[in-house]
Amino acid sequence: MNKLLDENFLGFGLGLRSDYYQQIIDEKPAVDWFEILTENYLVDGGKPLYFLDKIRADYPMVMHGVSMSIGSTDPLDYTYLKQLKALAERVEPQWISDHLCWTGQNQVNLHDLMPLPYTREAINHVAARIREVQDFLGRQLVIENVSSYVTYREDEMTEWDFIGEVTKAADCHLLLDVNNVYVSARNHGFDPLDYISALPISAVRQLHLAGHTDYGSYVVDTHDQPVPDPVWDLAVKVFERFGAVPAMIERDDNMPAFSELMAELAHLRRIAKDTLLVAA
Amino acid sequence: MSSLARIQAQFHRQLLQGDSNVLTHIQSGGQITPAQRVSIYETGYFARLTEVLATDYKVLWMVLGDEEFSVLAKAYIIAKPSRYFSLRWFGQDFAQFLSEQEGEHANMLAQLARLEWAFVDAFNSADVTMLALEKIASVTPENWPTLRFKFHPSLQVVTHDWNVLSFWRAGREEQPFPELEHSQNSQKMLVWRKALTTQYRTLSIDEACALSAAVDGLNFSEICQVLVEQQMPDAELASIVIGWLQNWLAEGLICDIE
């Protein structure tokens, strides 16, 4: 609980989406910070950058990207990284995150978060690239676990061991998406508590909470629904293990009234507070 | 090739070409088969990129309806895989792609797409500091002939000979679409952004000619000369061009002079 009162604790945030730009400026809602989708602001000018600057003047921000393709066997895209670095100089984010995945090969972008095989080879490959990006950006990177629908026959370990090994070898942080853990657990038949109880505590820098679409025999990470009860339940276990970690509601589609997101944010604060009070 | 590179290459081919070699790498088990697991990625790939096109080409999507739009979108996704780190650019070749399709309306659809893409481009183009009116007021008469103009980066001229502007307006206002009409004379339209708002208006052939010359960097007297060569009567020519320039300034099209 002490850390929740710590003035350095970033608190609880929301993903910044264009649907709410004007409302945020007009109403200055009680959101501790916003996470921006990096690629939405890698444009030359116009409304996105105008609203970004206006909202940044009132709120701390973190940057979250989808295009680094840190696990791809293509060379790192320095055109992208230079633009990312320039945007970071403009935004001055608390940290920069992207996904532990690959998004394409041979310069073709699939615009999807493709899962990596959990192999020693992949750990070495990804960790070296994360280090290269960290050297270029001059800061530690935060990488997010993705949800997945396949695992590979080549796998040599579990996803949680793979993530732990990558964060250790790359000396980077982890953005733990609680929904993604739930989705992958359902799709691959593992216990999500095994996953979170194996992750290194000191690596976790941020949490995402989101919704999904349940098709019965599998679950798709759509991020277009309210956070469902099983994900809230898992979030309690996450706060119990990792303590006061900055957390946010991530909604990417089927955008609701802003008040609905604020209600989910209030629920998130309550869960974190109750859990951490008990744990203290 | 490393194991990692091989898996990525085969998964890539699966999504782009429907080649199923990646299945040899996928674990079996659980409630769905490896093929079903891979198909979640395939479905997502086409759905995501189709949605991007439907957002950028909203009126075109309304004109064609879900089914026909999806067929064309899928063909484009297969023909033009994204080479961009941002989805903002993915649809930029769609108008060209449509113009290369068979069918009596291919040209009209391409022109509508070109118009919609001009708005996407204008929306995201660079911000510039606008020209202070004192600067142009201070130009002395003897300097006018050699004056050159710098234009807002969002400026685009779109040409069409189908009534795509009427379609675009109807789509934006969610009104019924008009009858399709073809004109013998092509129409020119200006699309740009003033501050944060995209703007558009039609252009006469003469004004389009002058604007094109000015954008190409010709000075005031050279612009007038181009118009004379276009058979424009020269009696009132300088005052007509000055009138256009005043409009361009007021509309935020000119951002600097030199």
pLDDT of the residue at A1? 46
pLDDT digits (tens, 9 = 90+) for A171-219: 999 999 999 999 999 999 999 999 999 999 999 999 999 999 999 999 9
Instruction: Give the pLDDT band of residue A5 (cuts 50, 70, 90).
Output: low
Average pLDDT over residues B134-142: 87
**Cross-chain residue pair A108–B16, CB shorter than 8 Å:** yes
Q: Is B177 helix (H, G, I), strand (E, B) or coil?
A: coil
Nearest-angstrom CA–CA distance, A113 and A107? 15
Nearest-angstrom CA–CA distance, A97 and A114? 16
Nearest-angstrom CA–CA distance, A230 and B90? 36
| Angle CA A11–A14–A17, to nearest 5 | 155
Q: Is B155 helix (H, G, I), strand (E, B) or coil?
A: coil
Our CA-based measurement puts residue A199 at a distance from the nearest CA of chain B, in whole angstroms, of 23
pLDDT at residue A7 greater than cutoff 80:
no
Interface test with B, best of A100, A149, A215 (most B CBs within 10 A): A149
pLDDT at residue A3 greater than cutoff 70:
no
Q: Please tell me which of the candidates A48, A105, A111 has its beta carbon nearest to residue B8.
A: A105
| B159 bridge partner residues | B188
pLDDT digits (tens, 9 = 90+) for B14-53: 999 988 789 999 999 889 999 999 999 999 999 999 999 9
- Tokens representing B15 are 């999504």
Average pLDDT over residues A244-259: 96
Average pLDDT over residues B87-109: 95
Identify the H or E element spanning B167. Answer: helix B164-172
- Tokens representing B183 are 């004109």
pLDDT at residue B81 greater than cutoff 70:
yes
Nearest-angstrom CA–CA distance, A58 and A62? 13
Nearest CA in chain A to B26: A152
Nearest-angstrom CA–CA distance, B42 and B36? 10
**Cross-chain residue pair A77–B196, CB shorter than 8 Å:** no
- Tokens representing B134 are 């004192």
pLDDT digits (tens, 9 = 90+) for B177-194: 999 999 999 999 999 999
Q: Is B71 helix (H, G, I), strand (E, B) or coil?
A: helix
**Cross-chain residue pair B45–A110, CB shorter than 8 Å:** yes
**Cross-chain residue pair A218–B40, CB shorter than 8 Å:** yes
- Please, are residues B200 and B224 in contact by the beta-carbon 8 Å criterion? no
B250-254 contact pairs (CB < 8 A, 24+): B251/B192, B251/B194, B251/B199, B252/B130, B252/B152, B252/B192, B252/B194, B252/B195, B253/B151, B253/B152, B253/B155, B253/B190, B253/B192, B254/B131, B254/B149, B254/B150, B254/B151, B254/B152
In a 10 Å sphere around its CB, with 0-12 CB exposed, 13-18 middle and 19+ buried, how is residue B18 labelled?
exposed
pLDDT digits (tens, 9 = 90+) for A24-71: 999 999 999 999 999 999 999 999 999 999 999 999 999 999 999 999
In sequence order, what are the residues at sequence separation of 6 or more whose Cβ sits closer than 8 angstroms to the Cβ of residue B194?
A: B152, B251, B252
- Please, are residues A174 and A167 in contact by the beta-carbon 8 Å criterion? yes
Q: Taking the CA atoms of chain A, what radius of gyration do you get in angstroms? A: 18
Q: Please tell me which of the candidates B4, B44, B49 has its beta carbon nearest to residue A122.
A: B4
Nearest-angstrom CA–CA distance, A188 and A191? 9
**Cross-chain residue pair A104–B12, CB shorter than 8 Å:** yes
Average pLDDT over residues B58-86: 97
- Please, are residues A70 and A97 in contact by the beta-carbon 8 Å criterion? no
Phi first, then psi: what are they for A170, rounded to 5°?
Answer: -95, -10
Nearest-angstrom CA–CA distance, A259 and B32? 38
Q: Quote ipTM for the complex.
A: 0.95
**What type of residue sits at position B143?**
N
pLDDT at residue A263 greater than cutoff 70:
yes
Average pLDDT over residues B208-216: 96
pLDDT of the residue at B204? 93
Summary mean pLDDT of chain B: 94
Q: Which positions in chain A touch B6 (Cβ < 8 Å)?
A: none
pTM of the model: 0.94
In sequence order, what are the residues at sequence separation of 6 or more whose Cβ sits closer than 8 angstroms to the Cβ of residue B181?
A: B162, B163, B166
Return the axis-axis angle of helices B205-215 and B237-250, rounded to nearest 10°.
70
Count of CB atoms situated within 10 Å of the CB of A269: 16
In three state form, how does the secondary structure of chain A look?
A: CHHHHCCCCCCEEEECCHHHHHHHHHHCCCCCEEEEEHHHHCCCCCHHHHHHHHHHCCCCEEEECCCCCCCCCCCCCHHHHHHHHHHHHHHCCCCEEEECCEEEECCEEEEEEECCCCCHHHHHHHHHHHHHHHHHHCCCEEEECCCCCCCECCCCCCHHHHHHHHHHHHCCEEEEEHHHHHHHHHHHCCCHHHHHHHCCHHHEEEEEECCCEECCCCEECCCCCCCCHHHHHHHHHHHHHHCCCCEEECCCCCCCCHHHHHHHHHHHHHHHHHHHHHHC
**Cross-chain residue pair B48–A111, CB shorter than 8 Å:** yes
pLDDT digits (tens, 9 = 90+) for B157-173: 999 999 999 999 999 99
Phi first, then psi: what are they for A110, rounded to 5°?
Answer: -80, -10
**Cross-chain residue pair A45–B124, CB shorter than 8 Å:** yes
Size of interface A-B (CB pairs under 8 A): 132
Q: Which positions in chain B touch A155 (Cβ < 8 Å)?
A: 27
Nearest CA in chain B to A51: B196
Average pLDDT over residues A86-115: 97
Summary mean pLDDT of chain A: 96
What Å distances lie between residue A142 and A66, A130, B109, CA to CA?
12, 9, 44
Taking only residues 150 to 209 of chain A, the set having a beta carbon closer than 8 angstroms to any beta carbon of chain B reads 150-155, 187-189
- Please, are residues A103 and A72 in contact by the beta-carbon 8 Å criterion? yes
Percentage of residues in chain A with pLDDT exceeding 90?
A: 95
Taking only residues 51 to 80 of chain B, the set having a beta carbon closer than 8 angstroms to any beta carbon of chain A reads none
Nearest CA in chain A to B46: A110
Average pLDDT over residues B67-72: 97
Beta strands in chain B (DSSP E): 149-151, 156-162, 182-194, 197-203, 254-257
Taking only residues 185 to 244 of chain B, the set having a beta carbon closer than 8 angstroms to any beta carbon of chain A reads 193, 196
Residue B217's region, left for phi above 0, alpha for psi from -120 to 50, else beta, is left
